[in-house]
Amino acid sequence: MRQILLAMGLAGAILLTACGPKAPAEGSDVRSGGASSSPESSSGAGSSGENSSGEADSDAFVFTRENMPRLDGSTSTAPLAQAICAVLLGEDISEVSDLVSFNRTTMSYRNLMDGEADLLLAAEPAPDVLAELEAGNRWLMTPFATDALVFVVNQDNPVDSLTVEQVQKIYTGEITNWSQVGGEDLEIIPFQRNQGAGSQTMFEKLVMDGLELMEPPTTWTANSMEGLLNAVREYDNSAAALGYTVYYYANDMEMAKGLKVLAVDGVSPSAEAIRAGEYPFLNPYFVAIAKAAPADSPTRVLYDWVLGPGGQRLAAIEGYVPVTDVEG
């Protein structure tokens, strides 16, 4: 009798084990024992945690809508953030737009510092905001991909390439006509960006590097709160226009907006040229969180994942240039 009961107990235990859920329940952090959530592969070495069998490991971290960190960043990283949410939540990209409400580069860093965002995917902020970030010593900013500052003109502009020196001279006002750089006899309109834009920070840091910028094309705005103010005009893609933006955005919108992306010093911006360091104006995209984020928190887990092979692979798939050498 005792043997029968023992056999029944063992059989019961086996059955229960076989019937238990394979995947963790929604909404739970199933990491056991408070172990660090940082996968060994976060440094890019090894392949721990990789399982392509069609099922997640039982100790895989599960992201849900409830525990997903609040994301913010530059507009050019919003598509990557959507892809991250889609793969981590198992939803179509069209269904995760509500989780990616990006407030642009400088504002996103302010939101992080004010506690309105948990994790940023963003370009470098304006110098004064960067100084504020660094002064507090409370934030972790780590490059996860490389961005490039690209120059754009109307697709019908016959000019295909500029040298660095030509770009500088256009923006100091020394070169004023497209004919001076191989184009038509047309006064150049060298548009700039607003000070909060990541591409303006890149432009002033990488291209002008201390040279005195000419005044940008401006207009006037007026409202009852601020009164009359001068305003920097955005690039308008007219025949005489020259502007700049970031590589990912230009690549995505080139056809839709009728833009042409220029080569600089004969090098056309591409993922290959950026990865090889051949294109002259490169700058990182950062993933940023609070240093105090606990090791097993969703914020820290996501931060590590973005820097690990999973996140790096996803960045490559989505057309970004990850900092590690992975295949998309």
Partner 1 sequence: MKRGWAAFLLAGLLLAGCAPQSPGSSGPAASEPDVSVSQPEEPPKEPIKEPEWETAGGVRVDWSRLGGRSQPQPNVDGGRCYPQYMDHLITGADYGPLVPYLGDQAYSFERWEHEGEMQKYFSYWPTSFYGLMTREGKIVVDPVYQNVWPYSYRWEGEDHALPVLILTRADPKWKELGSGSRCAVAAEDGSWMTDFEFLNYTNKEDQLFLLRPEGCTVLDSQTGSRKDWSWKELDMPASGEELSETLSFIQWVTGLNWLDQGVCLGWGESDPDLSWDNTPARVFRPETGEVYWVEQRQWDQWYDEYSDRRWSDMGKLVHKNSGATLTVDGQSYFLKDTYETGRLSVKRGDFAILDEQHAGNNIWTLYRLSTGERLMEGTDFELIADRLRPNSIFPAAYERGAWTVFNDRLEPVLTLPPTQRDNWVQFSLQDGLLTFKENDGIFFGAYDLDKGEYIFFRNLDMGD
What's the closest the beta carbon of residue 99 comes to partner 1, in angstroms? 9
Q: Which is nearer to partner 1, 41 or 166 (CB)?
A: 41
Return the residue matching tokens 């840091």.
205
39 vs 183, which CB is nearer to partner 1? 39
Beta carbon nearer to partner 1, 115 or 227: 227
Considering only CA atoms, which of 208, 189, 16 is closest in space to residue 200?
208
- Helices 298-307, 78-89: axis angle to 10 degrees equals 110
CB of 16 to partner 1, least distance (A): 22
Question: Closest distance between partner 1 and the C-beta of residue 74, in Å?
Answer: 5
Cβ 199 to partner 1, closest distance in Å?
A: 7
Q: How far apart are CA 303 and CA 293, in angstroms?
A: 10
* Residue 172 and residue 207 in contact, taking contact as beta carbons nearer than 8 Å: no
Nearer to partner 1, 166 or 237 (CB): 237
Say how far apart CA 6 and CA 249 lie, in whole Å: 66
Instruction: Decide if 126 contacts 94 (C-beta within 8 A).
Output: no
Q: Are strands 189-190 and 241-246 parallel, antiparallel or unpaired?
A: parallel
Nearest approach in angstroms of CB 9 to partner 1 is 33
Toward partner 1, which CB reaches closer, 95 or 165? 95
**Nearer CB in complex with partner 1: 7/218:** 218
Residue 74: phi and psi, rounded to 5, are -80, 155
Q: In the complex, what is the shortest distance from the CB of residue 262 to partner 1, in angstroms, rounded to a whole number?
A: 15
DSSP code for 257: H
Collapsed DSSP state (helix, strand, coil) of residue 223: strand
CA angle (122, 127, 133) in 5-degree steps: 65
CB of 115 to partner 1, least distance (A): 18
Helix (H, G, I), strand (E, B) or coil at 37: coil
For partner 1, the closer CB: 81 or 263:
81
Reported as type and span, the H/E element at residue 106 is helix 105-113
